[in-house]
Chain A
């Protein structure tokens, strides 16, 4: 049944119906509404049996989830940004130990400077952690991905993070359908661990592995994750059958048939991109979009198939690798190596700056005109004057002051000093 719900509330309900047995929670904007809603459900008994641990840090949150999962319980947590970094060591530990923990990541920028608004720098920073990464383009997909995530994680014995844009999705209120408990029970069976801490059959988990075997163990982690390339589409198909709507999968193509230009992106910006594609198609432009839902493992073959026929691929991403360039762009380029399409790397929407239809249309025009170079990182909506002024300041004086303050003064947001 559809209901007008906040994204966070919807995700919390979907997660609750997946019957997690242990939820560990540490608050961080913009994930708070999710963990608060789950807390209520545990308190009222709506979600039972479930132990809700109010932990002292995100590191503790993931650590508790590790302990719980190793003891055979379905475990869940949620975080964002700095919290994800704080649990980084535990992330690698969870994936290395093969524990099927599911985590919501409410995508938020990483500081310094501190910024609580949406971008993908947090999840991208952990793309190599061995976690499966799924990106939701809408709140309905976020709901659906969480349900699929538990099944995916437990089938492969690998942790899964479901990424949803902080604030933009988490705090948006819209019509959403949460499957019923019966539907979810039919889709998601009880957790059967591959290995478990059991006094009746004691095992040692987490031993040191030396050079003799480490390479092989790490290869197997890679191989296991690659299995998701088959399992993700299977689960999406099973989901569509069980719940009556397509959701999830590795990629989502939007009007890419015959497209000469294809925009590639992750997350909620795809909604705006699809509006732009429709507008431009109406104007005769042969343009389409590709949404990547499963970023890790990266569906190289599927991305190649989707983009091979285009002349130009414009990757729009909400994070970048400082010192080198685009992240999604690099991965896309890998998929297209040896093939004709020209790839443009565009960074947009950092720290919550909105990506608008207007800007995207302007971007396509710039690409058409050739005023953006391919294979070089391009920052959408960057105010060059401000940046150049600040760079000049750096040249002129050693104690040049914080960048942000100088820029905000130039913008007029901060009152300048009178003397």
Chain B
């Protein structure tokens, strides 16, 4: 099933907010997303919430994608898409603040929404077909040998929203990392994308 391609000029700008912890590649994820969008002729701006270098601390990164030059650099308060790299943040950080009913939500987990206690919440807040879980950490371990979920989540994001193509995500990954590491990440991204495309909620 081909995903419905979201035309950015329908909404003017597409804003993605990514949550995770330091060391999980949250900032890199936002940057790669922006590289992918740029490669496809969009204007894209990626930036993190900033802080001292510290592994494990909550990190938020943003990416704006638009057809026209992006001027504003304020934090994204009403994201069109939310990516959650680490579910331990669920009760620590206001992950869903400002996330509207039309938004896409992509959560890194091998468990179901019900197991996370989010099923009712998600059903009441969002469109069911726009909330997806992906066991990105497990896919990363399998394809990359390291529990770095960001690439897989980007693949899933591309498949889910169509804002960038999976191929553009793969190319962005290849441009950033050395060959061996890149291929592992790309494989994880493709696996996640396929799972999302097939409507499978990837479980651990």
To the question of whether A and B form a pair in one complex, the answer is yes
CA distance A129 to B39 in the complex (A): 44
Contacts of B51 in A (CB 8 A): 116
B34:A173 contact, CB within 8 angstroms: yes
* A175 contacts the other chain (CB 8 A): yes
Contact of B46 among A116, A172, A274, A358 (CB under 8 A): A172
Within 8 A of A (CB), among B13-68: 30-31, 34-35, 38-39, 43-48, 50-52
CA distance A174 to B48 in the complex (A): 13
* A268 contacts the other chain (CB 8 A): yes
Within 8 A of B (CB), among A360-416: none
Contact of A29 among B52, B71, B74, B77 (CB under 8 A): B52
Contacts of A355 in B (CB 8 A): 74
A354:B74 contact, CB within 8 angstroms: yes
Contacts of B70 in A (CB 8 A): 174, 271
* A204 contacts the other chain (CB 8 A): no
A175:B72 contact, CB within 8 angstroms: no
Contact of B44 among A169, A175, A272 (CB under 8 A): A175
A275:B47 contact, CB within 8 angstroms: no
B77:A356 contact, CB within 8 angstroms: yes
0 or 1 for each of A338-361: is its CB under 8 Å from B? (1 = yes): 000000000000001011111000
A4:B74 contact, CB within 8 angstroms: no
Which one of A167, A172, A272, A358 has the greatest number of beta carbons of chain B within 10 Å? Answer: A172
A271/B73 contact (C-beta < 8 A), A173-B31, A174-B34, A175-B38 known? yes
B73:A352 contact, CB within 8 angstroms: no
CA distance A355 to B75 in the complex (A): 9
B28 — nearest CB in chain A belongs to which residue?
A: A173
CA distance A233 to B34 in the complex (A): 34
Chain B interface extent, by class: 20 to 34
Contacts of B39 in A (CB 8 A): 4
Contacts of A275 in B (CB 8 A): 71-72
A167/B50 contact (C-beta < 8 A), A272-B74, A357-B72 known? yes
B52:A172 contact, CB within 8 angstroms: no
Contacts of B50 in A (CB 8 A): 30, 116-117, 167, 171, 352
* A236 contacts the other chain (CB 8 A): no
CA distance A179 to B30 in the complex (A): 26
Which one of B31, B44, B50, B51 has the greatest number of beta carbons of chain A within 10 Å? Answer: B50
A269 — nearest CB in chain B belongs to which residue?
A: B73
Chain A residues in the interface with B (C-beta under 8 A): 4, 6, 29-30, 116-117, 138, 167-169, 171-175, 268, 270-272, 274-275, 352, 354-358
Contacts of B52 in A (CB 8 A): 29, 116
B77:A272 contact, CB within 8 angstroms: no
Contacts of B44 in A (CB 8 A): 4, 173-175
Contacts of A169 in B (CB 8 A): 73
CA distance A116 to B52 in the complex (A): 8
A4 — nearest CB in chain B belongs to which residue?
A: B38
CA distance A154 to B53 in the complex (A): 37
| Extra inter-chain contacts (9) besides given A268-B73, A357-B74, CB under 8 Å | A117-B50, A167-B47, A167-B50, A175-B38, A272-B71, A274-B71, A352-B50, A354-B75, A356-B77
CA distance A13 to B75 in the complex (A): 27
CA distance A171 to B50 in the complex (A): 9
A281 → chain B closest CB, angstroms: 14
Contacts of A357 in B (CB 8 A): 72, 74
A168/B73 contact (C-beta < 8 A), A4-B34, A174-B45 known? yes
A164 → chain B closest CB, angstroms: 12
Contacts of A138 in B (CB 8 A): 71
Contacts of B34 in A (CB 8 A): 4, 173-174
Contacts of A168 in B (CB 8 A): 47, 73
CA distance A150 to B5 in the complex (A): 47
B172 — nearest CB in chain A belongs to which residue?
A: A4
B33 → chain A closest CB, angstroms: 10
A175:B43 contact, CB within 8 angstroms: yes
A173/B46 contact (C-beta < 8 A), A4-B38, A29-B52, A116-B51 known? yes
Which one of B34, B35, B51, B73 has the greatest number of beta carbons of chain A within 10 Å? Answer: B73
CA distance A172 to B44 in the complex (A): 10
Contacts of A174 in B (CB 8 A): 34, 43-46, 70
B176 → chain A closest CB, angstroms: 11
A-B contact pairs, 16 of them (CB 8 A): A6-B31, A171-B48, A172-B73, A173-B34, A173-B45, A173-B46, A174-B34, A174-B44, A174-B46, A174-B70, A175-B43, A268-B73, A271-B72, A271-B73, A272-B74, A357-B72
B73:A4 contact, CB within 8 angstroms: no
A172/B74 contact (C-beta < 8 A), A4-B34, A4-B35, A116-B52 known? no
CA distance A173 to B35 in the complex (A): 8
Contacts of A271 in B (CB 8 A): 70-73
CA distance A357 to B46 in the complex (A): 18
A352 — nearest CB in chain B belongs to which residue?
A: B50
Q: Which 9 A-B pairs have the closest CB atoms?
A: A271-B71, A167-B50, A4-B38, A172-B47, A173-B46, A272-B72, A356-B74, A174-B45, A173-B31
A272 — nearest CB in chain B belongs to which residue?
A: B72
Contacts of A270 in B (CB 8 A): 71
